[in-house]
């Protein structure tokens, strides 16, 4: 996720990290201008087990794809 914040990659998703993995990374991404959403296009908080992280324009393009996936496959 920090690679998104520093511009090395444009987007990242996960569906299994723990809150201690997310807390600092979510903050760093948001401070760098990125966004952190869950897979249904809502702001993810650090306790979320699923996240889509990236630059706003790209996340907006990727979110519809995740919305079409059966959510039971992502848990």
Q: For 3-19, what is each residue's pLDDT tens digit?
A: 999 999 999 998 888 99
| Residue 75 predicted with pLDDT over 70 | no
Predicted structure pTM score:
0.82
What is the pLDDT at residue 10? 93
What digits encode the pLDDT tens for the residues 15-61? 888 999 899 999 999 999 999 998 888 899 999 888 999 999 999 99
When computed from its CA atoms, the radius of gyration of the chain, rounded to whole angstroms, is 11
Domains and CATH numbers, the chain: 2-74 (3.40.190.80)
What's residue 67's pLDDT? 81
CB contact set of 57 (below 8 Å; sequence gap of 6+): none
Q: Coil, strand or helix: which one is 21? A: helix
Distance CA 57, CA 16 (A): 24
First to last CA, the chain: 19
């Amino acid at each position: 996720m920090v690679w998104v914040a520093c511009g090395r990659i444009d987007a990242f998703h996960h569906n299994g990290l723990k809150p201690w993995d997310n807390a600092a990374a979510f903050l760093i991404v948001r401070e760098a201008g990125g966004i952190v959403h869950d897979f249904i296009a809502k702001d993810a908080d650090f306790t979320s087990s699923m996240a889509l992280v990236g630059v706003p324009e790209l996340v907006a393009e990727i979110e519809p794809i995740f919305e079409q996936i059966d959510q039971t496959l992502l848990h």
